[in-house]
Amino acid sequence: MASSPDVPSAGNTPENPASGSPSDTTNAAGTATGDERRGRVRARRAAVMAVPATLIAAGLAILTAEGALGVQFAISGMPFTVTATELNGTGFEQFGSLDNMADGSPNAGDSGGQVLVITSAIKNATLTKLCQSVDLGGTNLLIKAGGGKEKVSARDLTTDSTELSGDASFDNIEIGNDASTLTKAGVKGPIGVFSQQADTVRIAHLRQTNYATTAGVFRLPGLKLSFSDSGC
């Protein structure tokens, strides 16, 4: 990136103008500039290409804090299980993300309070026989809905998962998009992050391990909440 013409570089101030060309000057501390500095920049760029996950993690932490991703709150750090016999959605997106726990969370362990997740965003979704459970230590909080004629429905649904399984099919899928350019679900991820999107998604026998879920509207017909010895 070109330097601003009105900002003096090291060793080239009004009191100490540079006497040589930019490629062979040094600053007052003897630090090399010019060709050597550009060589170092090229080396750094090569390192970035080799380990993009490092930059992704750093950028995602900032973007999550600013509410740029699906989750806009501090997660508890307690994973929960979600299952459904079938999920159908229109406007599907998926990309890498990073969730953050509250400062001092007892669930942080050695993770630093951060969890690397896959964010799945669906503009409109229906789920059949939804089950959600969280292990509270010896007992499970169990939520069930959509087991009758009416299905669970959600608008602007996002889930942050560490595991997802099922039998999936997509219409007009695009794989390898930059997450900042996604258009199908109205959610944009950080620039430079691998992603995919599709017009529609269907997942049979859905099972997720989630750390967060958000939705603009979430309708749960036949809702039943209980405690159970077993989860979903």
Evaluate whether 46 touches 38 at the Cβ level (below 8 Å): no
pTM of the complete model beyond 0.85: no
CA distance linking residue 44 with residue 46, whole number of Å: 5
SS3 59: helix
pLDDT tens digit string along 107-163?
Answer: 999 999 999 999 999 999 999 999 999 999 989 999 999 999 999 999 999 999 999
For 34, the token pair is 């010019």
Q: What does the pLDDT read at residue 39?
A: 53
Q: What does the pLDDT read at residue 36?
A: 55
Rounded to the nearest integer, the mean pLDDT of the chain is: 80
Q: What does the pLDDT read at residue 1?
A: 45
Residue whose entry in the numeric block shows the structure tokens 């794989």: 175
**Position 30 pLDDT exceeds 80:** no
Residue whose entry in the numeric block shows the structure tokens 């060309």: 21
Q: Average pLDDT in the 194-208 region? A: 98
Helix 35-50 and helix 52-65, axial crossing angle in degrees, nearest 10? 80
**Position 82 pLDDT exceeds 60:** yes
pLDDT tens digit string along 162-197?
Answer: 999 999 999 999 999 999 999 999 999 989 999 999
Beta strands per DSSP E along the chain? 80-100, 114-128, 130-135, 140-145, 152-171, 174-178, 194-214, 217-219, 224-228
Q: Which residues, other chains included, contact 210 with Cβ-Cβ below 8 Å and sequence gap of 6+? A: 79, 80, 81, 82, 159, 160, 161, 162
**Position 48 pLDDT exceeds 70:** no
